[in-house]
Amino acid sequence: MRARDLAVDFPTVTLDTPALEAARLLAERDLPGLILVDPDGRPLSILPGTQVLRLAVPAYCQDDPALARVVDEAHADLFLRRLGGRTVRECLPEQPKELPVTDMKATVLELAALMARTRSPLVAVTDAGRLVGAVTLQSLLDHVLEM
Amino acid sequence: MRARDLAVDFPTVTLDTPALEAARLLAERDLPGLILVDPDGRPLSILPGTQVLRLAVPAYCQDDPALARVVDEAHADLFLRRLGGRTVRECLPEQPKELPVTDMKATVLELAALMARTRSPLVAVTDAGRLVGAVTLQSLLDHVLEM
């Protein structure tokens, strides 16, 4: 069993995808993250769901729990307003030292080691550099636990 | 809307929970992680799903993709064998500087800031230090996007 057998189609975004669209994609399809691709379909990064949220939090609240505590209620509005007009470009995490990206020949063990090392529940699978699908922690666990 | 309104029951594990049981819980219930509690029900840590996987990867493969690549097939067996007899105690991540734990009065904005800052899609909610439930990235997004 190799990555090519486990990989499934997975939603992608580009640097110009609206942040609100990315948030809706995560929520509607219950995804652990999104794959960011360039115009040629090459994975540029993996965008964890938590980093899309970051955009919705005003800068003055991000590192100060006390400030975030006093701003209460009506926040569906606040979130939508803050995400509106912004793009995925603005929620990119700092580039990690290793991206959870591998090729179609990766073994199950290699996928597991990559997820553990990068702490990413989502691995992008490429063929000649282009994205062909993804393996999630859930699908890997389902496979190894034979569920 | 505060954490007490959004928090739902969430599975917990203890240091002595078998690693295989933790893996099955993650897979069966499609969870982003598990909450580790002490015998008094106080959250000790949040265990990301990827760190349970780490236990299943032999040490000699963890940091060497080339070695993980050559060990192929029959790995449902390997995983189950390696997880067998081990406990959650052995898959604990290094203690992060901040745990995704808050109290029932946390605002939506505070929950979002905490998830973004700790990069955890799962926040434990406590009352007087004891776990009362959890808020996931999914439920927070569903709420703020009014889905």
* pLDDT tens-digit readout, B103-138: 999 988 889 889 988 989 999 999 999 999 999 999
CA dihedral (A37, B141, B53, A117) positive or negative: positive
Phi and psi angles of residue A54, each rounded to the nearest 5 degrees, phi first: -55, -35
Checking if the pLDDT of B32 tops 80, the result is yes
Checking if the pLDDT of B101 tops 60, the result is yes
Give the predicted TM-score (pTM) of the model: 0.85
- E-assigned strand segments in chain A: 12-13, 33-37, 43-48, 101-103, 122-127, 130-136
The CA-atom distances, in angstroms, between A1 and each of A31, A63, A104, B127 are: 23, 44, 10, 46
Residues of A in contact with B25 (CB under 8 A): none
Q: Is A73 on the interface with B (CB under 8 A)?
A: yes
Query: For A28-78, what is each residue's pLDDT tens digit?
Result: 998 989 999 999 999 999 998 888 888 777 777 777 777 777 766 555 566
* CA within 13 Å, CB half, B20: 15
- Give the closest-approach CA distance of B109 to chain A in angstroms: 6
- Which residue of B lies nearest to A72 if distances are taken between CA atoms? B107
- Which residue of B lies nearest to A139 if distances are taken between CA atoms? B27
pLDDT at A76: 57
Residues of B in contact with A110 (CB under 8 A): 61, 65, 68-69
pLDDT at B67: 74
Beta bridge partners, B36, equal B13, B45
- Give the closest-approach CA distance of A13 to chain B in angstroms: 18
Q: Is B11 on the interface with A (CB under 8 A)?
A: no
